[in-house]
Amino acid sequence: MATDVLVIGGGIVGMVTATELARSGAQVTLIDAEINAGSTANAGSLHVQMQSRFMRLYPDQVPAIEASLPTYRAAAQEWERLEAEIGSVELVRKGGLMLAEDAAQLAFLEQKAAREARHGLQVELLDRPALDKIAPWLGPQIIGAELCHNEGKVNPLAANLRLRAAAEALGVTRVRDRITALAVAGRVEAHGVTGTYRADRAVVAASWGAGALLRDHGLTVPTQAEPLHMNITEPCAARIDQLIQHAERSITLKQFRSGQIVIGGGWPARDCGQARVPAVEMGSLLGNVALAARLVPAIAHVRVIRSWAGMNTTIDGASVLGPLPATDRIILAVPGDAGYTLGPLIGKWAAGCVLGTVERERIARFSPSRFAA
């Protein structure tokens, strides 16, 4: 099969890349293994402020995360453009709260907010009376919070469906296959389990599967599969407008338009290999939900109806985006942390790399060359 551009990976990044390219007139084939996409498992939080989870788990990555703050701000904004283009993704931008339970946590948030403000984020600190006006359901132990106005939420199921329909309407060919090798001999040749695909250019948007495809091209990109846990409740009246996080503990909590509360925040699941969905760990289910119950006691009588586990992909704290040092026929696009938030922006830029419409200096920071052997 031959086309202008191959997009390998059909998550948020691959789908946005494919639609952008198709819109500019390119003939696009999207090849997706259709397994363990973070995009079908994620919680739809639009993260902008620095997540305390990453700062704690990967302190060495903090400088990279901090430098990426303007990108996250722009990425959240990009969702508005995407929604205008493809229809409702249930985007709500009422901000995100990061809660503090004691003076030390509040002091940490204060410092964090100051750093974030320097990078152009719209942040403020709220004391309890101010919190009561927007989040009266919080537990009594919460003394204050950082509110980041740039944050928000989308419904990933709705967004994925819209994007899939948009790609189809634009004539993107979708193939279910797993690429095992990528070669460049004049054109790009991608060998899959069931077929071989040829194109002028290829965009690798295969998240955890990307690293393996680039090893033959002189790159060691540490794309790490990270199985994560999620929970969802039955519906209740929609009153939780913000994305809720904690200054010290791993949690995200928010409410979909359906009234269901989604609880996650990076609790681990058990890896069952790349070909199988990760398994739920008891400790994550108990710990994650119990923490939610302590922060928002009003949800005690709502029932959890399901938990699941999905595959996130981490790199080194920043996105990888751009042509390979060895050949500009292959473009790498892996968003990294909070990759769903970044997806539309990274996808647009990846398409821009193919079309030559993105300013090189804008994306130089993300260049794959940092992983050249």
Partner 1 sequence: MSAGSFLFAGRPVPCRDGQSLAAALTEAGERAFRTTPNDQRRGMFCGMGVCQDCLVTVDGIPNRRACMTMSEDGQRVEMQVAYPVLEDIPPATTSPGAARILEPDVAIIGGGAAGLSAAIAARAAGAEVVVLDERKVGGGQYYKQSASHKPLDAQQAEGRDLLARARQSGAEIIGAVEVWGAFDGPLFLADAAGAALIVRPRCAIVATGAYERPRMVPGWTLPGVMTTGAAQTLWRSYRSLPGARVAVCGSGPLNAQVALELAAGGAEVALVGEAARAPWRAPWVALRALTADPGLVLKGLAMMRDLRRRGIPLRHETTLQAVRAQGTELCATFRGSSGVTTEVTVDALCMNDGFEPQNEILRLLGAEMRYDADVGHLRCTRDARMRTSVRSVFAVGDCAGLGGAPAARVEGTIAGRAAAAEAGYGDGYDLFAEERQLARHRRFQSSLWRLHNARPAPAETLARDTILCRCEEITLGDVMDGLQDSPGDLGTLKRATRVGMGRCQGRYCGPVAARLVAERTGKAVEDLSFFAPRVPVKPVSIAAILAAQEALGDGD
Ligand X SMILES: Cc1cc2nc3c(=O)[nH]c(=O)nc-3n(C[C@H](O)[C@H](O)[C@H](O)COP(=O)(O)OP(=O)(O)OC[C@H]3O[C@@H](n4cnc5c(N)ncnc54)[C@H](O)[C@@H]3O)c2cc1C
Answer for which of 289, 318, 334, 338 binds partner 1 (CB under 8 A) is 289
Q: CB of 16: closest distance to partner 1 in angstroms?
A: 17
Q: Which SS3 state, helix, strand or coil, does residue 86 take?
A: helix
Nearer to ligand X, 37 or 147 (CB): 37
Q: How far is CA 67 from the centre of its chain?
A: 17
The CA-based angle 282-337-247, given to 5 degrees, is 65
Taken in order 290, 208, 336, 89, is the CA torsion positive or negative? negative
Answer for which of 137, 169, 222, 362 binds partner 1 (CB under 8 A) is 137
Residue 30 binds to partner 1 (criterion: CB under 8 A): no
Structure tokens at 146: 């950082």
Residue 43 binds to partner 1 (criterion: CB under 8 A): no
The residues that bridge with 162 in the sheet, in sequence order, are none
Answer for which of 60, 84, 273, 301 binds partner 1 (CB under 8 A) is 301
- CA distance readout (Å), 332 to 35, 242, 326, 346: 19, 33, 12, 10
Residue 34 binds to partner 1 (criterion: CB under 8 A): yes
Q: CB of 277: closest distance to partner 1 in angstroms?
A: 7
Q: Which SS3 state, helix, strand or coil, does residue 14 take?
A: helix
What's the rounded Cα separation, in Å, for the pair 371 and 325?
10
Answer for which of 102, 290, 362, 364 binds partner 1 (CB under 8 A) is 290
Size of the chain, expressed as the number of residues it contains: 373
Q: CB of 341: closest distance to ligand X in angstroms?
A: 4
Nearer to partner 1, 197 or 267 (CB): 267
Q: Which SS3 state, helix, strand or coil, does residue 165 take?
A: helix
Long-range contacts of 293-299 (CB under 8 A, 24+ apart): 294/139, 294/141, 295/99, 295/138, 295/139, 295/142, 295/244, 295/246, 295/251, 295/253, 296/137, 296/138, 296/139, 296/240, 296/244, 296/253, 297/137, 297/139, 298/137, 299/137, 299/233, 299/236, 299/261
Residue 175 binds to partner 1 (criterion: CB under 8 A): no
Answer for which of 294, 329, 365, 370 binds partner 1 (CB under 8 A) is 294
Nearer to ligand X, 106 or 199 (CB): 199
* 299: partner contacted, choices partner 1, ligand X, none (Cβ within 5-8 A by kind): partner 1
The amino acid at 216: D
Residue 305 binds to partner 1 (criterion: CB under 8 A): yes
Q: How many residues bind partner 1 (CB under 8 A)?
A: 46
Residue 133 binds to partner 1 (criterion: CB under 8 A): no
CA dihedral 159, 164, 170, 172 (to 10 degrees): 140
* 184: partner contacted, choices partner 1, ligand X, none (Cβ within 5-8 A by kind): none
Q: Of 217, 251, 218, 223, which is closest to residue 317 (Cα–Cα)?
A: 223
Residues 265-284 that bind partner 1 (CB under 8 A): 267, 277, 280, 282-284
Residue 157 binds to partner 1 (criterion: CB under 8 A): yes
Q: Of 31, 12, 75, 49, which is closest to residue 363 (Cα–Cα)?
A: 75
Binding residues (CB under 6 A) for ligand X: these are: 8-14, 31-39, 41-45, 47, 178-179, 205-207, 209, 213, 228, 230, 264, 310-313, 334-335, 338-341, 343
Nearer to ligand X, 203 or 299 (CB): 203
Nearer to ligand X, 3 or 36 (CB): 36
Residue 293 binds to partner 1 (criterion: CB under 8 A): yes
Residue 302 binds to partner 1 (criterion: CB under 8 A): yes
Nearer to partner 1, 252 or 284 (CB): 284
Q: Which residues form the interface with partner 1 (CB under 8 A)?
A: 34, 40, 136-137, 157, 160-161, 164-165, 176, 233-239, 258-259, 267, 277, 280, 282-290, 292-294, 297-308
